Amino acid sequence: MTIKEKQTRKCAQQRKWRQSPKGRAYYRKYNSSPKKLAYRRKRRQRPEVRAAEREYEQRPEVRAAKRKYNQSPKGRAAQRKYRYGLPPSEYLFLLRKQKSCAICRKKFTGTPHVDHNHKTNKVRKLLCSACNFGLGLFRDSPALLISATKYLQAHA
């Protein structure tokens, strides 16, 4: 292959990257081209490949590695970003601003829980595990909480 042919081939590849909505950095990161990634995506949709992936994910060593990552600070930050759209900087800002549970006002002893609206997924505040668990049992319903308050006052 001549130098001219190599240059032409390289230009065609760069043109393909420029036309792609993801850009060149994405493909360089995965060391692949748009065609290869499309092939991999299509291949993963095949039933036998999906079954093999499920079987792989059920292996004890793979599950242990995932659990270890999810319990690490980096894994927790990734989960908060994925679930609530809350980047680490905003989480730390909330933590510094709040310093204690929004309901019981006790200082956080462990990792605070992110309270959010389940319909809109909007983050409300940080809660201790007991308050977060209690709200979850009352299904975030103000009517149920008022009813429980009246019950406690009547039978105290």
pLDDT digits over 29-60, tens only? 556 677 777 787 788 888 888 898 889 999 99
Two tokens, residue 32: 């692949």
Q: Which residues, including other chains, have CB under 8 Å from residue 115's CB and lie 6 or more apart?
A: 102, 123, 124, 125, 126, 127, 132, 135
How far CA 34 is from CA of 43, 47, 49, 54, 118, in Å, comes to 14, 23, 20, 25, 36
Model's pTM, two decimal places?
A: 0.62
- Both tokens of 14, joined, read 């760069």
**Angle formed at CA 150 by CA 141 and CA 101, multiple of 5 degrees:** 55
Q: Which is nearest to 87 in space by CA: 97, 102, 76, 103?
A: 76
Name the pLDDT band for 2 (thresholds 50, 70, 90): low
Which of 29-43, 74-88, 113-127 shows the lowest per-residue confidence on average (mean pLDDT)? Answer: 29-43
Tokens of 99: 């310093």
Domain boundaries, the chain: 72-154
> Mean pLDDT of all residues in the chain?
84
CATH class given for the domain over 72-154: alpha beta
Query: What is the C-alpha to C-alpha distance for residues 49 and 70, in angstroms, rounded to an integer?
Result: 25
**Confidence class for position 94, pLDDT limits 50, 70, 90:** very high
As given in the structure block, the two tokens for residue 18 are: 């420029």
pLDDT at 42: 83
Q: Does 76 or 7 have the greater pLDDT score?
A: 76
Query: What's the CA gap between 31 and 63, in Å, rounded?
Result: 27
Residue pointed to by tokens 């994925």: 82
CA nearest neighbour of 126 among 110, 137, 112, 111: 112
**Average pLDDT estimate for 107-125:** 91
